[in-house]
Amino acid sequence: MRVIRSYQNVAAKDRGASVAIGNFDGVHLGHQSVINIARGAGEATDAPLGVLTFEPHPRAFFAPDAPAFRLMSPEARQNRLAKLGVKMLYELPFNAELAALTPESFARDVIGKGLGLAHVVIGEDFRFGKARAGTAEDLTRFGAEMGFGVTVAKLVAAQDAQVSSTAIRTALSEGRPRDAAAMLGHWHRFEGAVQHGAKRGRELGFPTANMHLTNLHLPKFGVYAVEVDVLSGPHKGSYTGAASLGTRPMFGENTPNLETYIFDFKGDLYGETLSVALVEYLRPEETFESLEAFIAQMHADCDLARSILSKL
């Protein structure tokens, strides 16, 4: 997958794509539906499949001090889109200049002249241009005038509810990762490099891979059954485990962290990239009267996680 980060001076090989447009936070079933429509439109004209998105997320640009809301990092989004067969990712910087474009200017200067897109697919609730003034109907009209095709996709529903990043965040905040997965079409994952920690887990017989969590929406704190993909290094592969998401109240700390104990694993993962999927919420964070009680609970957590994961 090629990543293009400007709509100016775009190479000829990166023009003419059939593109899905949106923020694609989470790359949920609704996003996947839009991408599949773009795929079909491109196959009809032999146009490569692309995605047009923005970084940072426009919401973060307009409200930089608001609480973190993103479901995935830009890198995780790229990885997920590549798995869906996207060949070109137009990840445009969302800045004051882009935000100031009128809907007509965005259609003409970005989609038409800038990127030279052959076809675009948007959701029926799509808004674009300064003050989000442009609608799906406006883009359809601009496309007819400017020479690119437009398809407006219906919103997707799952479990009798509309699929949205907001609904997914709610499910995760309530400790319902399976409900979130039903809307995502995949497990909710955290991806990142393994960091050095206090190494308490190793001393307690449960060595963990520690990942810092920044600028992301945090699910309900507690212990989860997880699936783990090691994406780099000599131990690349898929594993299972149990993970603690939270602030480690047993040790008086307050910085959110993800600590993952990988079952039946021996090896050094420091600096390697992990993708940890939340499968089931087991229990909330707790403090214990003694280390012995804490260790006994960790054994119970791992036994329960193994049982759950064995049935997937």
Q: What is the DSSP string of 56-84?
A: S-HHHHH-TTSPP--SS-HHHHHHHHHHT
At 203, the pLDDT band (50, 70, 90 cuts) reads: low
136-167 burial code (b ≥16 CB/10 A, e <16): bebbbbbbeeeebbbbbbeebebeeeebbbeb
Closest CA to 189 of 258, 79, 275: 275
Point out the least confidently predicted range of 66-70, 87-91, 147-151, 193-197: 193-197
Pairwise CA distance, residues 190 & 175, whole Å: 15
- CA–CA dist 239, 230 (Å, integer): 8
Per-residue pLDDT at 204 = 75
- pLDDT tens string 15-65: 999 999 999 999 999 999 999 999 999 998 999 999 999 999 999 999 999
Taking 90 as the threshold, does the pLDDT of residue 199 lie above it? no
- Pick from 220, 216, 270: nearest CA to 245: 220
Q: Looking at the domain 188-310, which fold is it?
A: Elongation Factor Tu (Ef-tu); domain 3 (2.40.30)
46-55, 139-148, 203-212, 271-280: the lowest-pLDDT one: 203-212
Higher pLDDT, 288 or 170: 170
Q: Which of 259, 280, 289, 292 is catalytic?
A: 259
Q: Is 55 exposed, middle or buried (0-12, 13-18, 19+ CB in 10 A)?
A: middle
62-80 tens-digit pLDDT = 999 999 999 999 999 999 9
pLDDT given at position 255: 80
Distance CA 87, CA 280 (A): 33
Within the chain, all domains assigned CATH 2.40.30.30 are found at 188-310
- Residue in the block written with tokens 């009809």: 44
Among residues 245, 212, 256, 242, the alpha carbon closest in space to that of 304 is found at 242
Residue 247 banded pLDDT, cuts 50, 70, 90: confident
> Is 20 in contact with 31 (CB distance < 8 Å)?
yes
Tokens representing residue 148 in the block? 């690119």
Residues in Cβ contact with 238 at an 8 Å cutoff, skipping those fewer than 6 apart: 227, 228, 229, 230
Domain with CATH 3.40.50.620 in the chain: 2-158
* 106 has pLDDT over 70: yes
Q: In the CATH scheme, what is the code of domain 2-158?
A: 3.40.50.620
- Give the model's pLDDT for residue 253: 60
What pLDDT score was predicted for residue 222? 97
C-beta separation of 149 from 119 below 8 A: yes
Predicted pLDDT of residue 162: 76
C-beta separation of 144 from 175 below 8 A: no
Pairwise CA distance, residues 38 & 225, whole Å: 35
Question: Taking CA 72 as the corner, what is the angle to CA 153 and CA 6, rounded to the nearest 5 degrees?
Answer: 70
Token pair listed for 99: 């935000």
The pLDDT assigned to 156 comes to: 82
- Checking if the pLDDT of 252 tops 60, the result is no
Query: CA–CA separation, 261 vs 241, rounded Å?
Result: 5
* 145 in active site: no
Q: Are 58 and 99 in contact (CB under 8 A)?
A: yes
The better pLDDT of the pair 191, 248 is held by 191
- Give the pLDDT score at 145: 97
Q: What average pLDDT does range 258-287 have in this prediction? A: 95
